[in-house]
Structure 1
Amino acid sequence: MTQYFVYIIECENGALYTGFTTDIERRYAEHVAGSAKCKYTRSFPPKRLAAYWAFEDRSEALSMEAKIKRMSVAEKKALIGAAQY
């Protein structure tokens, strides 16, 4: 069964980038290498993988991604602080 991940990357400029993937390790490595399709992290490299969440349902994951993208920076930081792995 496929797992879906929503993740937040803290970039070197302090920004919090949110994304969606089925392979969190590969996707983060792509961001770090600058080979990812994401133009943002090519311009503002990742500092760390701040948090991630796993889902079994694709729709749930995409819904969570959209919800996080609408959050303020303060709300995202609180969410990162509450993340458990």
Structure 2
Amino acid sequence: MKTYYVYILSCSDGSYYTGVTSNLTQRLEDHQHRKHLNGYTSSRLPVELAYYCTFTEITIAIAAEKQIKKWSRAKKEALINEAYELLPNLAKKKFKK
């Protein structure tokens, strides 16, 4: 059974990058060695692995990656810090009165 990883990198400029791969070790090396010169992380090195989770279905992994990419910085940080109890409240939209 193949394993897929959804991961979040912490970039040197303080931003986060979210991706999906089937080989986490190789993908991290690719990021660190600027394999994709025009990629998001190539100008934000060094990067550090902040979070990852595993999946056995690529379609589910891609769906999770897309969902996390839409999250706010605060929600990504709650996930990174394993503060799962904060995730539901961070998902609620805030409306100005």
TM-score by structure 2 length?
Answer: 0.80
Q: Runs ≥4 in structure 1, deviation > 4 angstroms?
A: none
Matched letter for residue 58 of structure 2: R
Which stretch has the larger CA shift, 54-63 or 39-48?
Answer: 39-48
Q: How does 1:1-12 map to 2 (within 5 A)?
A: 1-12=1-12
Per-residue CA distance 1:9-43 (angstroms, 9 max, x = gap): 00000000000000000000110111147611111
Q: Which has the higher contact order (CA 8 A, sep 6+)?
A: 1
Matched letter for residue 5 of structure 1: Y
Per-residue CA distance 1:36-75 (angstroms, 9 max, x = gap): 4761111111431000011001111011101100100000
TM-score by structure 1 length?
Answer: 0.90
In 2: Cα distance, 1:4 partner to 1:14 partner: 26
Structure 1 vs Structure 2 CA RMSD: 1.6
In 1: Cα distance, 2:46 partner to 2:60 partner: 25
What residue number does 2:67 align with?
Answer: 67
Secondary structure of 1:82 counterpart: coil
Q: Could you tell me whether the CA contact under 8 Å between 2:41 and 2:47 is conserved in 1?
A: no
Q: How many aligned positions are there?
A: 83
Which stretch has the larger CA shift, 28-37 or 4-13?
Answer: 28-37
In 1: Cα distance, 2:18 partner to 2:38 partner: 11
Which stretch has the larger CA shift, 46-55 or 18-27?
Answer: 46-55
Which 5+ residue runs of structure 2 have no aligned equivalent? 84-97
Q: Could you tell me whether the CA contact under 8 Å between 2:12 and 2:45 is conserved in 1?
A: yes
Percent identical: 39
Bigger radius of gyration? 2
